[in-house]
Amino acid sequence: MPQIASFDDVKTTRKERQVPTGTAWRTNFIDPEEDNPASAQAFLVEGTAGRVIKPHFHDYDQYQVIVSGGGVLGKHELQVNAVHFSRKHTPYGPIVFGEQQLGFLTLRAHKDPGAQYLDDPQNRSKLMGLENRKPWQATEVPKFEPVSSGAKLHTFADLKSEDGLASFSMSVAPDARALAPDPAHSNGQYLIIVRGSLHYAGREYKALSVAFVKPQEGPFELVAGAEGLDVLVLHFPRAESVQAAAAPQLAKGAPGTRVWQCMLCAFVYDEARGMPHDGIAPDTPWEDVPETWFCPDCSASKSDFQMALVE
């Protein structure tokens, strides 16, 4: 049976703590089963403006969904409903909470022991020593379309792969019914009600609500309330079939045509494209990239990049 909880159900679990860069809160939506760590884990992270979560990685795949405020992850601007996915052992960050504070859901299909920060030499050594590590991450903003009847489904362009990773946004008309995508080929599915409400098992679940559906439980029936609903549908990749992102291909190794890859998170700097958002023009050789430049995804320095080899 799917697990489901609204913020009103779990708000009493909200715990506050002081951190060096501000105040933090955590609210647990779905707790892993005590005798089964390979079960769902979902919680809400909130913090005051200026709070910083240092670059880190986790031992398991995870989604993060922005639900309030804003900020930046690495060099990427965050906005409400944006979805970030990171494969296990993929570092990312820092996460810097913006002027309007920041709140985001962390969603996993497996209990995780916690953040492993890159400024700890032991964690960095562990990361670099892992064999067959396949780092990959992406952030994407969903599309929700107004509907007067039925439902509309949008498939994310980047947050998908052949191993079961898939991400969708759905809009369901007021009082309408629709089936969410089937989680059968995934490692579990999260449903995040971000607007309106869902009727399920004799109750109304208003935004913000979170549900987890196991692969064998079949498509979840979405029954919208009087205002309709917008829902994110997030599928985890199958644990037994993790695939790496495509390796960069090089035509030749002359300056201006080379590709450099972060050894920590696999971000790629392509000399031909440059990094215009960082003031680095196309065709800028790696040697001319400022030493103060850092990886947009995990904040690694230039020394953590290596030139990708021609296959």
Based on the domain organization, do 34 and 110 belong to the same domain?
Answer: yes
Task: Establish if 146 belongs to a structural domain.
Answer: no
Of 92, 110, 140, the residue at which a domain comes to its end is: 140
Number of domains the chain is built from: 3
Mean pLDDT of the chain: 93
284-297 per-position pLDDT tens digit: 999 999 999 999 99
Are both 163 and 273 inside the same structural domain? no
**Final residue of a structural domain among 176, 202, 235:** 235
8 and 118: one domain?
yes
- What tokens were used for 96? 């810097």
- Residue 132's identity, in one-letter code, is N
Task: Let me know if residue 176 belongs to a domain.
Answer: yes
Q: Which domain holds residue 266?
A: 259-307
Q: Tell me the pLDDT tens digit for each residue of 111-135.
A: 999 999 999 999 999 999 999 999 9
Residue type, 297: D
Q: Are residues 165 and 125 in the same domain?
A: no
Chain centroid, CA 124 distance in Å: 21
Phi, psi dihedral angles at 309 (to 5 degrees): -95, 150
Q: Are residue 80 and residue 7 in the same domain, yes or no?
A: yes
Kindly report whether the peptide bond that precedes residue 55 is cis, defined as omega within 30 degrees of 0.
no
CATH code of 40's domain = 2.60.120.10
DSSP bridge pairs for 301: 294
Same domain, 104 and 157: no
DSSP assignment of 201-252: TTEEEESSEEEEE-GGG-PPEEEEEEEEEEEEEEEPPPTT---PPPPP--S-
245 part of a folded domain: no
Residues 9 and 111 in one domain: yes
Q: Are residues 14 and 116 in the same domain?
A: yes
Distance CA 71, CA 278 (A): 18
Q: 55 and 176 share a domain?
A: no
What tokens were used for 22? 């501000």
Q: Are residues 10 and 102 in the same domain?
A: yes
Cβ atoms of residues 30 and 210 within 8 Å: yes
pLDDT tens per residue across span 149-194: 999 999 999 999 999 999 999 999 999 999 999 999 999 999 999 9
Residue 166: both structure tokens together? 């898939």
Distance of CA 29 to the CA centre of its chain: 17
Domain end: 109, 140, 171, which one?
140
Task: Please enumerate in sequence order all residues whose Cβ is within 8 A of that of 299, keeping only pairs 6 or more positions apart, or say none.
Answer: 55, 74, 93, 94, 118
Residue 242 lies in a domain: no
DSSP type of residue 80: T
Give 196-233 pLDDT, tens digit per residue: 999 999 999 999 999 999 999 999 999 999 999 999 99
Amino acid at 50: G
For residues 166 and 125, membership in a common domain is answered with no
